[in-house]
Structure 1
Amino acid sequence: MTVSKKKGRSVDRERVSLTQPHEVQGWAKRLGVSEERLRAAVGKVGHVAYDVRAYFLSGRERDDA
């Protein structure tokens, strides 16, 4: 598991956390999606960053709509 400490915080780059507003904003920006779309994706595929990225890249989001 890759963990980075920046500004005294521990950030897990392999999991998408929805508990902290700054983490939600960071993941949404990194993935190029809205916070609402990010939350929906995590609800469908879980918190593993690889799975969330794959969800957006695969087009499954359109299929689920």
Structure 2
Amino acid sequence: MSDTPRDRAQDRARVASGQDHEVRYEADKKGVSKDAVKDAVKSVGNSRDKVEAKLDLKT
């Protein structure tokens, strides 16, 4: 993990459903709606791999 300028570690392996830019990124990447990303996070948790796998099933 890399540190941010504010010395907080970021975890790129997670999708923060409360962060609009992260939800929008995943939605654009997978070609789905932001609601679909939020539903996937609710369904499988915030692991980026699991969310992307769930979204792949929808497309």
What TM-score does the superposition give when structure 1 sets the normalisation length? 0.64
- Taking the aligned partners of 1:26 and 1:39, their CA distance within structure 2 comes to 12
- Taking the aligned partners of 1:56 and 1:22, their CA distance within structure 2 comes to 17
Give the direction of change, closer, same or farther, for the CA distance of 1:4–1:38 in structure 2 (3 Å limit): farther
Q: Does 1:24 align with 2:16?
A: no
**Relative contact order (alpha carbons < 8 A, sep ≥ 6): 1 or 2 greater?**
2
Q: Residue 12 of structure 1: SS of its match in structure 2? A: coil
- Taking the aligned partners of 2:11 and 2:48, their CA distance within structure 1 comes to 10
One-letter amino acid of the structure 2 residue matched with residue 40 of structure 1: D
- Taking the aligned partners of 2:22 and 2:42, their CA distance within structure 1 comes to 16
Residue in structure 1 matched with residue 44 of structure 2 by the alignment: 45
More strand by share: 1
Aligned residues: 57
One-letter amino acid of the structure 1 residue matched with residue 13 of structure 2: E
Q: CA RMSD in A?
A: 2.5
Which segments of 5 or more consecutive residues in structure 1 lack a partner in the other structure? none
Paired-residue identity, %: 34
